[in-house]
Every structure is written in structure tokens, then in C-alpha cells.
Amino acid sequence: MPLRRRWTVLLLGVAVVLAVVVAGARAQDYNNGGGDGDGEDEEEKPSFKAQEACNGAFLTYTFTERAKEYPRTKNATAQAYAFKATATVLNTMTEDLKAWQMFVGFQHKEILVTVGGAVLLDGTDLPANVSGGVTFAGYPMADLLNSIETAGDLTQIQAQIDITGTQFGVKPPTAPMPKTIKLSNPGFRCPAPTHKQSVMYVCCVKDPKFKAKKVNTTTRYLPRQKADLTIAYDVLQAFGNNYMVQVTIDNWSPISRLDNWNLTWEWKRGEFIYNMRGAYTLNKEGPACVYSPAAGYYKDFDFTPAYSCEKRPIVVDLPPEREKDKDVGNIPFCCKNGTLLPPTMDESKSRAVFQMQVYKLPPDLNRTALYPPQNWKIIGKLNPQYVCRQPVRVSPMVFPDQTGLMSSTPAVASWQVACNITRPKKRAAKCCVSFSAYYDESVVPCNTCACGCGNDTATCDADAHAIPLPPEALLIPFDNRTAKARAWAKIKHRRVPNPMPCGDNCGLSVNWHIMNNYKSGWAARITIFNWQDYTFKDWFAAVTMRDHYSGYENVYSFNGTKMGAPFNNSIFMQGLPGLTYLEPITDGRTPEDPRVPGKQQSVISFSRKDAPNVNIAKGEGFPKRLYFDGEECALPDTIPKPSSAHRRAVAAASLGQIVMAVVLVMVVDSLCL
């Protein structure tokens, strides 16, 4: 063989050997690096190493895409973009993560349009403005199992949230990322998340200093929650395509109540209500079920007797006369016409119960495929504003045996919804308070639009401050107070705004009047006005005082009781026997006279023995908060100001004067009635 040919063959052989060695080295690097996070795929996922090192809950948020929306604007901060993102929660612990909750701190005026794999914890309806951040709760997978007992099955240890929405003002190529992400479950610590390009991730670990309440460790369920109002969803019987459930509403707050409660929720899996006892749906439209998705599966089903196929049914209580009805009643604690009193008044009237038969749709045609509805809401005639969290799986409720024997029967499955009272937003109250005092001839009325502005803003100023009124103006509706307000301002040489401020638009108002200030104590008068065509039965009020609460002595025309924690410094008041009704507004004596509100009033006395530092002459003595039937009333922005003459000469009334004041109030009440 020629020498040149030999060298060519030799070089070709060396090249082949080198290629094989390099390929083998690359393959070896890939195989070895696959588990350690050193491969090329892992370099594209900056969260991989952090995920591998996490022993807790590993959270990610990934921004995926966006598109400019209409209208197109030159103002970059006002331009809307449709965006998509994905969030994940991965359980990397040796124990289950129950009822996971993930907070995403949105900061670009985001509006969520659709959410998959989770629901909003506070039950807000979509589309939802979440510019201040939002907490997601798992649905339908609320619990994340641990990797050890599932052989690392991602479908059981990880939840994925698919997010679609709108955000403002962040132009490409910048990714509109949230401020932070964290696990909201109690007992976890989350450091500041790591942010790389369009990905954010964090490992949340258990807080060793957190002392959890002792619970039954033999079950996989969370303990029952404490809240102002709770709703239990207990499945009593389970069949292939339907189940029987009992819903129990418990009012736990000592100062809240509901009248004519309306309860609603959202079916997420096509369920419908076939039958009910103890309550009924406000819209009973069985024939309309023929056009629902359920009719596509139950082709030969008679929907005529069905209660509701609505996705968001509205459930109301039965009237008392149906309590023993064998078809729709005969349920304990039902049929009170939607009244839930606080347990401090009557424990037997602080609970409501009803049962219903729920039919399911594929793929849930299994006895164990049980999912409670989401996004619960409850409202009433005049009641606090409740925010209800999503249902949490709890230990099955245990019921006594129906035969009367000593045995008990657990529910097939139980969930609990916790609802807490929130303070009313500005101009969204349902009642308001006015202030007056013996040292000032004027009354500080309820704030402008305290309960909403109504439809009269074209003729009044919704942003103007309410102007002082003469005392007699409190006895007439706010629609008729303009003339008196103008005349009073002229007498007092005050400027009158043009246009005049709007009324408070409250259906119920309360006047707190400082009556007198004597050497050993002082007294106030509380007057409740009902401006509605509605009678408040078993009404009650609560007033939270400041430092002068310790001097409280007595309420004379109401039943008054000092309250304990968490309502310290509060006085609970309710009508005496025979005076538990707050009558509605009535017509005047002549058609020209204004309508007359229903009214109840009483004097409250305070002693200086236990509160010697209260200075009534300087404007103290007004409540910090005031509630009526559990609704927090809007307080005025200002209080009556004592004149210099009153500051120099403090009234020195005797105890006899306050007794005379009580007698005078009772006489006035008898005349009004």
C-alpha cells in the first residue's frame, strides 16, 4: 500500500475514534448530570436546583405570553395587555400539604378572567380585580400528597394554576411579574422569591417556632375553623350519580345577625339540586333544566320537580308555618324565615339547617367522587358584610343515631366554610350615626352618602361635607331637610354650599346625644330611627366606648349588658319585653307632613368613680364604634365642639336631673307611640 494512502487511512481512523470518545463523553455527562441538575436542560430551568434542595413547598410563577388589547392608546401606562401565566405548588415534604393556599402579589392592575386548577380564596367572582394581590386555593385538588407515598407522582404532589387576565402598562419586552409569591398556609416561612427573567420561584419551609393546635393525627383532615359564621357541608348518603347533603349555618358572633338570609354558591362540575327540605331555591325552575348541560346526560330524566339547575342558585329559609310540613319541613333548626340571631340572645335561633339531593355529571359518577360547591356568599336584610373562604375538608361530622339508640353515625364526607365579618367600605354602610351634645345647638349629621349616593347626584354634591342641622331635622327624612339646613345655616351665619351635599341614604340611623355633665358622672341618650317599610324584630345594638367605658352604670329603657372579649369596652343593648319591635316608617298626620320614622330611645348613664379623667366639656363621650343588628354603622367625621362659654362653666347637674331626664324620655316615647 502506498505511503500516502496509509497515512490517509490512519488519520481517518483517528478521527472516528475521537468522534466516538467525544460522543461518549457527552452522553456520560448528560446521564450523570440528569439527577444533579448539571445538564443543558437544567440550565434552561433556573429553578431546578432550588427545587431539588427544597424540603417544604416549592412555588413557581411563570409569565408565558401577552398581547395588546383594545383600545390602543399612546399612554403606555393606560395600555391594556392580555396575558397568560402559570403558577405551581409542589409538595417536597415527607407529609401531606393540606388545603394549600398560594398568594401572588400582583402589582400591575391585573384583572383575572379565567383561573384553572384553583379558585380565589375569598370567593370573588371572575373577572376579578386583583391589583393588590390574591390568594389561590386548590380546586379540585385541595390537598397535595407527599412524594414517598405516591412514588413521586406529579399529578398527586403538584398543583398547576393556569391564569389568563389583563394587565396594564408594562410594555414588551419587560415581563409583568408580581411583587412576590408565597404559601399562605399557617406555620410556613417563605423567604423573598428569586426572580430570573419571566420566572419567579421560592421554597417555603415549616416554621419551627410555630405552635400548631393539637389535632387528631389519625386523620388526614384539617381541624374545624373558628369564624364569625360557619357553614358545614356534610354528605349524609352517597350514590353513583347523586348524594344527600346537609348544610348547617352557625352564627358565632355575639353582635351579628342575619334577617331573611340568602345563601348562594357556585357549582363547578355541572351539579344540580333535585330536591330540598328545610329551605328552597328562590327561583325554582325545573322546566328550565331541560336546556341545561344536565339534560344532555340524563336524557330520560323528568326535570319537572327539580329545584334548580342554576350554576349559582339562591337558597332561602322556609317560613315558620312550614316547620312541620312533611314534604319540605321536619328538619331541626329550619324554618325561621331566615333569621339568625347571635348566640348571646338565643342559641336556638343562631343555627339554620337544610338538606338537599344533588345530582352529578360525568366524570364524577362514583360514590367517592364528591366535590363541594365553591364561592359561597351569604347576605341578609340588614347584616354585616361577610367574606367566605373556600370549603376546607374536615373530619366527618358525627350524628346521633336516628333510631334513638346510643350509637352514632359519621357523615360520608364533611367540608366547612368559614365566613368572617369585614368592616363596610366607605359609602357602603347600611346604617349611620349622628352626634349632638348639650353644649352645641347644632347636630353633626350622618356623612354625605354614608350608605351610598343614590340617583340624586345630579342635584346634590356627593363630595361636599354634611352641614350641621337643627335638632328637629333628625325627625324628618333627609329628602326633606334641605330647607331646614339652609335656614339653620343662615341663623348661624354659615356658608351654604351650592349645590347642597347629598343625603346619607341610610335606611336606619342612630343619634348619640351627650345629655349632661354633672359632678359625679354624665349621661348620653341613644335614639334609633327606622326609615324603612320594614319592621325589625328582636333588634339589638352594641356600642364600643373609649376610656370612659369603665364608668358605665346603666341603660334605662333597654336591656344593657357589658360584653367581654373580643368586644371589650362594648355595651350590648336590646329592647325590653314588649318593645322588641322597631316599627317601620309611617305617613304623617296630613298628606303634606313628612313621613315619621319608627323610633326607640334610651338614656345611658356613666359614673366618674371608675373613669375620673373623662373630659366631657372638651368633646369626649362619643362612641368609637356603633352596631345595629350586627351591621357597623358609619360614624361622622367630626364631633360637636364646645363653645368657650361651656368650657368655662361645666354643668353641675345632680342625680335628680338624670332621673328627670329618664322620665322625660319615657314621656316623649309614649307620645310618639
What's the rounded Cα separation, in Å, for the pair 119 and 122?
Answer: 9
Which three three-digit cell numbers place residue 417? 366554610
User: Could you say which DSSP state residue 348 is in?
Assistant: G
Cβ-contact 254, 262 below 8 angstroms? no
**Type of residue at 213:** K
Q: Concatenated DSSP letters for 521-572?
A: EEEEEEEEEE-SS--EET-EEEEE--GGGGGEEEESSEEEEE--TTSTTEEE
Q: Is the pLDDT of residue 654 over 50?
A: no
Judge whether 19 lies within some domain.
no
Judge whether 12 lies within some domain.
no
What is the band of 21 on the pLDDT scale with cuts at 50, 70, 90? very low
What's the rounded Cα separation, in Å, for the pair 374 and 207?
Answer: 30
Which three three-digit cell numbers place residue 601? 330611645
Judge whether 109 lies within some domain.
yes
Say yes or no: 417 and 439 in one domain: no
**Which residue among 174, 206, 238 closes a domain?**
206
What's the rounded Cα separation, in Å, for the pair 563 and 649?
Answer: 35
* Cβ-based neighbour number of residue 316 at 10 Å: 17
Q: Which residues pair with 204 in a beta bridge?
A: 57
What's the rounded Cα separation, in Å, for the pair 303 and 245?
Answer: 20
What is the band of 574 on the pLDDT scale with cuts at 50, 70, 90? very high
pLDDT at residue 649, rounded to an integer = 44
Q: Where are the alpha helices (DSSP H) in 222-342?
A: 293-297
Strand segments, DSSP code E, in 610-663 are 625-628, 631-632
What's the rounded Cα separation, in Å, for the pair 432 and 506?
Answer: 7
Structure confidence by residue, pLDDT tens digits, 525-568? 999 999 999 899 899 999 998 877 788 899 999 999 988 877 88
Say yes or no: 564 and 440 in one domain: yes
Judge whether 343 lies within some domain.
yes
Structure confidence by residue, pLDDT tens digits, 187-232? 999 999 999 989 999 999 999 888 766 555 556 788 888 999 999 9
Say yes or no: 566 and 449 in one domain: yes
The residue segments making up the domain with residue 608 are: 431-633
Say yes or no: 294 and 318 in one domain: yes
Say yes or no: 518 and 605 in one domain: yes
**Structural domain count of the chain:** 3
- Dihedral (CA of 18, 21, 23, 26) sign: negative
What is the band of 11 on the pLDDT scale with cuts at 50, 70, 90? low
Which three three-digit cell numbers place residue 248? 348547617
What is the band of 659 on the pLDDT scale with cuts at 50, 70, 90? very low
pLDDT at residue 449, rounded to an integer = 92
285 CB contacts (<8 Å, ≥6 apart)? 308, 309, 310
The full 3-state SS of 113-152, as one line of letters, equals EEEECEEECCCCCCCEECCCCEEEEECCCCCECCCHHHCC
172 CB contacts (<8 Å, ≥6 apart)? 66
Cβ-contact 87, 160 below 8 angstroms? yes
Judge whether 123 lies within some domain.
yes
Q: Is the pLDDT of residue 44 over 60?
A: no
For the entire predicted model, the pTM comes to: 0.81
What's the rounded Cα separation, in Å, for the pair 524 and 552?
Answer: 11
Say yes or no: 268 and 316 in one domain: yes
**Type of residue at 252:** W
Q: What's 480's domain CATH number?
A: 2.60.40.290
What's the rounded Cα separation, in Å, for the pair 261 and 278?
Answer: 13
Judge whether 362 lies within some domain.
yes
Say yes or no: 56 and 201 in one domain: yes
Cβ-contact 317, 282 below 8 angstroms? no
Say yes or no: 562 and 613 in one domain: yes
Q: Is the pLDDT of residue 34 over 80?
A: no
Say yes or no: 450 and 598 in one domain: yes
Judge whether 28 lies within some domain.
no
Cβ-contact 163, 87 below 8 angstroms? yes
What's the rounded Cα separation, in Å, for the pair 634 and 623?
Answer: 12
513 CB contacts (<8 Å, ≥6 apart)? 435, 436, 437, 438, 524, 525, 526, 527
Judge whether 17 lies within some domain.
no
What's the rounded Cα separation, in Å, for the pair 454 and 457?
Answer: 7
Say yes or no: 194 and 245 in one domain: no
pLDDT at residue 384, rounded to an integer = 87
Beta strand pairing call for 432-437 and 508-518: parallel
What is the band of 156 on the pLDDT scale with cuts at 50, 70, 90? very high
pLDDT at residue 370, rounded to an integer = 95
What's the rounded Cα separation, in Å, for the pair 279 and 267?
Answer: 18
Per DSSP, the chain holds a count of helices (H) and strands (E) of: 8, 38
Whether a cis peptide bond, with omega within 30° of 0, leads into 287 is no
pLDDT at residue 656, rounded to an integer = 42
Q: Which residues pair with 436 in a beta bridge?
A: 513
Say yes or no: 81 and 103 in one domain: yes
**Which residue among 389, 422, 455 closes a domain?**
422
Backbone torsion region of residue 427, taken as left when φ is above 0, otherwise alpha when ψ lies between -120 and 50, otherwise beta? left
Say yes or no: 64 and 187 in one domain: yes
Q: Which residue has the cell 417555603?
A: 204
